[in-house]
Amino acid sequence: MKIITFANQKGGCGKTTLAVNFAAGLAKRKIKTLLIDLDPQAHATLYLGYKDQSNNSILKIFDNLIKNIEFDPKNYIISRNPEFSFISSEIELGALESELSEKSYALELLKRLIEKTETLNFEYIIVDTPPNLGFLTLNALKCADIVIIPLECSIFSLQGSENLKKIVSLFGNYYEKLPLFFHLITLFDKRSNFNKEFLRKIEKIIDSLLSPPVRNNIHLKEASYLGKTIFEHNPFCRGAQDIEKVIEDFLKKIKEIRAVDFCCEAHSAQKIYLVGDFNNWQRREEYALVRKNGRWQKKVYLPKGKYRYKFIIDNNWSHDNSNPHKETDNFGGYNSLLNLEG
């Protein structure tokens, strides 16, 4: 199961449209997918044509989790078709943040829900987030294996992307996974010189771009008025075609990625960082390990390849004792080796 969070604090940059139709497009390929609307504006819920869902929305699930009430997630999941499931949102979800402000579990709620859905065998869980970096977005980032950042052609959406990455870095020693980031240009107008120039610039500075850009297509807007996914509304329009191609590109790229669980047994350590070829050997907060059940760990996604790495345990550089593959370094110690070619 992989969790994809669509996030950008900039509103109106296409998060909901992409999240809904990306999920629907995966389901169309017979990939079992659950879409979760985590935005109190409930736009994904509306997009799919569900109006009053206040009896079984994500808020009710969070209520159960907060009050420790046993529940079956199936009772809260709407089945759109055998491969496409959905959990709705509602406006009152917005009030939860202030109620939970001091609670340590506030950022764990989505994670706890997702753990409960494990037996339902979803291959992908897609999360649509609100246009801010509040606790709902932080919940979704904490769970994410992959973050897709929609960018419409504006400097504000790029700014949103930068802020998102800063947040992941700030919360580094709290997040057990370092997600993989992809960017995706949307609301793209081929006839606009500014849009073309924006795309050229982005291609130069961002290497994690999904392609093609999703064009501005009225059918994507129409679909939301009709309460339909683009594939239910008009599967042959440009919007549907672009999203299908993006999914193809995504699935191809994800095949080249490996998840690595780094672990370190250092019971008395105060802080541990992972450094290696993949982060230019720099001590960065997003690569801080997290202590869980007495062990330090971090899941990191890396492209296929060969890597050298070390841990920095309270300022001491050390190889990974649990990994027999190592080479001598220039300082009389060892680098640990990782082979992710297979």
Ligand X SMILES: Nc1ncnc2c1ncn2[C@@H]1O[C@H](COP(=O)(O)OP(=O)(O)O)[C@@H](O)[C@H]1O
The smaller minimum CB distance to Mg ion, of residues 43 and 60, is found at 43
Distance between CA 215 and CA 238 in Å, rounded?
7
8-16, 134-142, 165-173, 276-284 -> range binding Mg ion (CB under 5 A) = 8-16
190 near ligand X (CB under 6 A):
no
Does residue 160 interact with ligand X by CB under 6 A? no
What amino acid occupies position 131?
P
DSSP-assigned states of every residue in 269-316: -S-EEEEEGGGTT---GGGB-EEETTEEEEEEEEESSEEEEEEEETTE
Nearer to ligand X, 14 or 276 (CB): 14
Q: Which segment (91-99, 210-218, 247-255, 268-276) binds ligand X by CB under 6 A? A: 210-218
Write down the least CB distance from residue 39 to Mg ion, Å: 5
Q: Which of these segments, 85-93, 200-208, 220-228, 291-299, binds ligand X (CB under 6 A)? A: 220-228
Show the binding pattern over residues 25-44: x = contacts Mg ion (CB under 5 A), - = does not: ------------------x-
Residue 16 interacting with Mg ion (CB under 5 A): yes
Output the CA torsion sign for 246, 252, 256, 259: positive
Asked whether position 13 contacts ligand X by CB under 6 A, the answer is: yes
**Which residue from 7, 9, 13, 15 is in contact with Mg ion, where contact means CB under 5 A?**
15
Q: 5 with 143: CB under 8 angstroms?
A: yes
| Cα distances (Å, whole numbers) of residue 265 to 150, 292, 295 | 38, 11, 6
Q: What is the dihedral of CA 103, 147, 174, 116, to 10 degrees?
A: 60
C-beta closer to ligand X: residue 127 or 214: 214
- Interatomic CA distance for residues 175 and 141, integer angstroms: 8
Binding positions for ligand X, rule: CB under 6 A:
11-17, 43, 131, 186-187, 214, 216-217, 220-221, 224, 239
